[in-house]
Structure 1
Amino acid sequence: MNDSVSQPERIVRDFVAWENGDSSKVDVVSESLDVYNPGLDGGEVHDRESYAAYLEEGRSAFPDIQIAIEEIVANGDTVMAEVRITGTHEGEFKRLPPTGRSVDIRGMGKFSIPDGTVEECHLYYDSREMANQLGMTFPEILRQLPKLAWRKLKSSG
């Protein structure tokens, strides 16, 4: 990276690398991390381990998931980044069987870095877009009903 990259910007780039599975970057993630993300159950988590578990669940469902920073700007200890999330749905995701479809979603992240670690992260994206791309909207969901019914029958038997 060039010398014009600010320290907070570098920290966010390392945070995204951690989100992508680079465990060597964990030192930029506060243990008391607060994350607000429409994809989380309840929309938020309040510690690093809970967010790591969510990320692992995502990697299990989308083994090739990639979060990329498209644009980034820092002002003091606040960083804004436009992100792009891509991946192929190959495993169960939020109790939905794999569709084999790819997703390509854009969003924004606002990161607070008051002490050299990411303390707070607000992610903004249209979660309906993911449902649309996975074919989980009406009438596309009708094609998924046989798989969902079969899965339910197998799990109750």
Structure 2
Amino acid sequence: MSIELHQAAHEAMSNEGAEQASAYFAPDIVYTDEARGLTMKDKAETTGWLTEWKTAFSDARVADATYLEAGDWTIARFTARGTNDGPFGELPPTGKELATPFCELLRWSDGKCVEGAIYYDTTTMMVQLGHMPPP
């Protein structure tokens, strides 16, 4: 059952945006962006984090996703795709396409995501976006 919630949150982010995706978050969600060392401690912070992604990649979408359920946790392995048409933090837009593998874990309670973490390779992203040469 939680797999459908995870999929729906991804569809909302891909097709509508951060505010719509945040409808699946509990008010006190704790969500960690492991690659950047950021932990958001409530729904507003997590929605803001998603908004930054949608600002940097207005066509951001989850592609080729595989979902697994493990008790009250779901795991999604997917490719994050989008065109960098807005600033990404302090980095200027490059107009380049992003296609980077991600892994996301979400814990669910009463139909809402209460905890999550996302893992991805920042070097791959920076190379794809043209901010650094390949290692």
Q: What TM-score bracket applies, with the shorter chain setting the length?
A: 0.7 to 0.9
Name the aligned partner's letter for residue 87 of structure 1: G
Q: TM-score, normalised by structure 1?
A: 0.74
CA contact (8 A) 1:15 1:118 kept: no
CA contact (8 A) 2:35 2:118 kept: no
CA contact (8 A) 2:19 2:47 kept: no
Match of 1:11 in 2: 5
* Mapped pair 1:117 → 2:112: yes
Give, in whole Å, the separation in 1 of the partners of 2:122 and 2:64.
Answer: 18
State the SS of the aligned residue for 1:113: strand
Answer 1 or 2: which has greater helix percent: 1
1:55 aligned residue (50, 58, 66): 50
Report the CA distance shift for 1:61/1:46 in structure 2 as closer, same or farther (over 3 A): same
Answer 1 or 2: which has greater strand percent: 2
Give, in whole Å, the separation in 2 of the partners of 1:25 and 1:55.
Answer: 9
Equivalent residue runs for 1:5-154 within 5 Å: 7-20=1-14, 21=17, 23-24=19-20, 26-38=22-34, 40=36, 42-68=37-63, 70-138=65-133
Cα offset, 1:18, TM superposition: 3.6
Q: Please say which of residues 128-137 and 65-74 is displaced more in the overlay.
A: 65-74
Question: What is the aligned residue count?
Answer: 132
Report the CA distance shift for 1:25/1:137 in structure 2 as closer, same or farther (over 3 A): closer
Give, in whole Å, the separation in 2 of the partners of 1:107 and 1:24.
Answer: 21
What is the RMSD computed on CA atoms of the aligned residues?
A: 2.0
Give, in whole Å, the separation in 1 of the partners of 2:64 and 2:111.
Answer: 19
Unaligned runs of 5+ in 1: 1-6, 140-157
Q: Which whole-Å deviations, capped at 9, do the CAs of 1:103-149 have from their partners, x for residues lacking one?
A: 1011111111133211111111111110110111148xxxxxxxxxx
Larger Rg over CA atoms: 1
Report the CA distance shift for 1:50/1:39 in structure 2 as closer, same or farther (over 3 A): farther
Greater RCO (Cα-Cα under 8 Å, separation 6 or more):
2
Name the aligned partner's letter for residue 34 of structure 1: V
Q: TM-score, normalised by structure 2?
A: 0.85
